[in-house]
Amino acid sequence: MTTPLTVDQLQPRLQQLTVIDVRSPGEFAGGHIPGAHNVPLDQLSQALPALRAAATRGELAITCASGARAGNACEQLSAAGISALLISGGTAAWTAGGHQLNKVPGQKVRWAMDRQVRMVAGSLVLAGVVVDVAVPGVRWVSAAVGFGLLFSAATNTCAMGAMLGKLPYNRPRNSGAAFEATLAELHGGK
């Protein structure tokens, strides 16, 4: 079961909750709620045993940039029998509430995934329209991107975001080791 949690409700309970940030490692490195653990959405199923163990010790609170990916994660957790709180508005709401984000030292700030998706989708649409002048029919690339965006909105999924999340740009050095350390920490305690 998923219960919404506002940042005003989260702040005083931060030490009692296990906060899970489901953004890409690159986004997480650029700024996250203090004490949050990074479990990227595309690796959530691999982390279920560790998350189940953490949930036996206390409540989980799930976040992302704005709430969409966290909502998806909460649905997956609920389907696996793990209850979680959904942090309404994600890290955007956290910073809008005047709270600071922690950053991973030495990591470059990455664009938020939704911004990366808008950049790639817009570039593909523009390229399809421009190239269609020389190669008729290429405009269908733009139509396909438009359909993908509509499908993404209707299903609350994002294939392009999932693909972009796998790029080296969004997986800083040592992100695999950091993920394994996170799983071990979730298994053993805060």
Predicted local distance difference test score (pLDDT) of residue 175: 65
For the stretch 22-40, pLDDT in tens is 998 888 988 999 999 999 9
Predicted local distance difference test score (pLDDT) of residue 17: 96
* pLDDT at position 170 over 80: no
Angle at 33 between CA 30 and CA 34, to 5 degrees: 105
Q: How far apart are CA 45 and CA 86, in angstroms?
A: 18
Q: Name residue 156's amino acid.
A: N
Q: Kindly report the number of other CB atoms within 10 A of residue 91's CB atom.
A: 27
Predicted local distance difference test score (pLDDT) of residue 189: 61
Q: Kindly report the number of other CB atoms within 10 A of residue 102's CB atom.
A: 13
pLDDT category at 169 given cuts 50, 70, 90 is confident
* pLDDT at position 1 over 70: no
Instruction: Give, as one character, the DSSP assignment of residue 66.
Output: S
Q: Note if the pTM is more than 0.85.
A: no
For the stretch 154-166, pLDDT in tens is 887 788 888 888 8
Structure tokens at 19: 């906060």
Structure tokens at 134: 């020389």
Q: How far is CA 183 from CA 38, 43, 134, in A?
A: 9, 11, 52
Q: Are 5 and 150 in contact (CB under 8 A)?
A: no
User: What are the backbone angles phi and psi of residue 34, rounded to the nearest 5°?
Assistant: -50, 130
Q: How far apart are CA 14 and CA 179, in angstroms?
A: 21
DSSP assignment string, 34-47? TT-EE--GGGHHHH
Instruction: Give, as one character, the DSSP assignment of residue 32.
Output: B
* pLDDT at position 86 over 90: yes
* pLDDT at position 190 over 60: no
